Structure 1
C-alpha cells in the first residue's frame, strides 16, 4: 500500500452536522472541487451509503472509482476503501471527528496507490492538494450550514 497522508482542521460546527455533510454524497458535486458525479450504489440497514461511485475531473486528473464505506456506531468516524477504479489500484481513507471546544477537530487520512507509478515528490504534492482541498471545502460547507 502507498504511504499514508494525514491532515487535521478545526471546524466551527458540531460533529453530527459535519458527519451529515460527509454522508450526503449526492451533494458532493455542489461543494467538493472536481467532483462531477456521485452515485450511491448500496445502502446499509441504517440508511447510510455502503458503496458509492465517484467521477472526478480536476484538469489533468480524470477518474471513476467506487468506494466501500464503514461507519462507526458512535457517529464520529468513517473509513473507506477502494472497490474498483480506473486510475487507482488502492485507496484507503478515513475521517475522524473529535469535539474541540465549541467546534470539531476533523482528521482526514488518505492513502492512494495509482495504476501508473508516480514520482514520490509529485505524489506527495498531489496528496497534500487533495487533503487541503477536502478539509477546507468541508470546513467552508459546514460553517456555512451551521
Structure 2
C-alpha cells in the first residue's frame, strides 16, 4: 500500500457522539459525498460493524467493495479492504479521535487507496485528499446538526 494521505478537523462534540455517527454506516449516503450505499454484512458482539459493503460513485470511479473494521473504543476506527471491487484493489484507513483542551474533539482521517487505473502518485494523493476533506466536512455537519 502506498503512502497515506491525512487531514483533520475539530468537531464540537464528544468522542462517543462522533463515533456513533461513524459507526452508523447505513447513514453514510446522507452525509459522505460519493458513498451511494453502505450495507453492514456482520457485526461484533458489541453491535459495531465488522464487515461493510460500500458502493462508491465519485467522478469517474464507480465501484462496490467490502471493508473490514477494527474498533478501539471511541478512540479509533481502522479499516482495510476485505473484498476488492472492479476498480478499488487496495484500501486502508482510519478515524482517530482525541479530545481538545478548550472543548471539542479533533478527528484525524487517514486513507490510502489503490486502484486498477494507472494513476500518478501526486494525482492519487490529491484524490485521496479530496475524499478525506469531503468526508470530514460531512461528518462535522452530521454530528453538529
What is the TM-score normalised by the length of structure 2? 0.94
Aligned residues between the structures = 143
Structure 1 runs of 4+ aligned residues shifted over 2 Å read none
- Deviation, 1:20, is 0.3
TM-score between both structures, scaled by the size of structure 1: 0.94
Q: Which residue of 1 aligns with 2:29?
A: 29
Q: Tell me, which stretches of 5 or more residues in structure 1 are unaligned?
A: none
Gap runs ≥5 in structure 2: none
2:15 maps to 15
In 1, Cα distance between equivalents of 2:135 and 2:8: 11
CA distance, structure 1, for counterparts of residue 74 and residue 126 of structure 2: 31
Change (3 A) 1:2 1:128: same
Distance 1:45 1:141 in 2: 26
Note if contact 1:93-1:108 (Cα within 8 Å) is conserved in structure 2.
yes
Q: CA RMSD in A?
A: 1.0
Deviates more, 1:55-64 or 1:42-51: 55-64
SS of corresponding position for 1:65: strand
1:63 counterpart = 2:63 = yes
